[in-house]
Amino acid sequence: MMAAERVYRALLLLYPRRFRREYREPMLQLYRDARRDSTTSWPRLAGDVVVSAPFQHKEAFRAMSTQGKLFTASIIIGVAIVAFMAIGGALFALALMLLLAWIVARLLRERDVQLSPRFWWKLTVGGVGVFAAGFLIFAGPWPQSWRDAVPGELGWWSGMFIFSTAIVLIVAGLLSGVVQLAARRRLSH
């Protein structure tokens, strides 16, 4: 197998999984035929993959259920939160956390999950508890030798994870409370 075909095979990984399962072998055969007949250049075939792969992902996303779309959006937003925290975009990461909390609340509603009337405050109190534990860990009266024993990068990432989790729990709890309050008001009228 030539190096160009290996690269082409790797490029096929850009397509959605379902599309690859159905069309991988015919596309490889088309590639081999075009290369053997010298009708199409290798960069043109690679370019076709790069251009058409986003379209196939768009089609796969359109075919997803609402739950699948929300789940996919939550994964993308989670990755974006980590990326913005890593480059120092804390305010944007916080906005994405609020969006993630809304998506989680919407996903629960979409799945027809019946939450107990006390669920919202349990989430909120849980978030406050995580925040308090993180504050105790990072701002507690620990000896300096203990602080120096923890690598700075590990401490930073741990803190970001703990405080981000706390914020998402608090916001998700408050959003759940607002949704439950609105639902109760709607039923009473």
C-beta contacts of 7-14 below 8 A and 24+ residues apart: 7/46, 8/42, 8/45, 8/46, 8/49, 11/46, 11/49, 11/50, 12/49, 14/49, 14/50, 14/53
Position 132 scores a pLDDT of: 92
| Token pair for 165 | 């989790």
Two tokens at 126?
A: 């849980």
pLDDT at 115: 64
Helix, strand, coil percent values for the chain (each to nearest 5): 85, 0, 15
pLDDT value at 81 more than 80: no
Stretch 88-103: mean pLDDT, rounded?
74
Is residue 38 predicted with pLDDT exceeding 60?
Answer: yes
Q: What is the mean pLDDT of the chain?
A: 78
Report the pLDDT averaged over residues 53-82. Answer: 76
Give the model's pLDDT for residue 138. 83
Task: Tell me which residue has tokens 């608090």.
Answer: 170
Please identify which residue in the block is written with the tokens 């925040």. Answer: 131
Q: What is the mean pLDDT of residues 109-132?
A: 80
Q: State pTM to two decimals.
A: 0.47
Task: Give the model's pLDDT for residue 129.
Answer: 93
Question: pLDDT per residue over 123-177, tens digit each?
Answer: 889 889 999 998 888 887 878 887 788 887 778 778 878 888 888 788 778 877 8
| Spans of all domains in the chain | 3-63, 67-188
- The confidence band for 114, taking pLDDT boundaries of 50, 70 and 90, is low
Tens-digit pLDDT profile for residues 14-33:
888 888 888 888 888 888 88
Spell 15-53 as b/e; 16+ CB within 10 A means b: bbeebeeeeeeebeeebeeebeeeeeeeeebbeebeeeb
| pLDDT number for residue 39 | 66
Distance CA 49, CA 5 (A): 13
Instruction: Calculate mean pLDDT across residues 63-74.
Output: 73
> At 83, is the pLDDT very low, low, confident or very high (cuts 50, 70, 90)?
confident
pLDDT at 113: 65
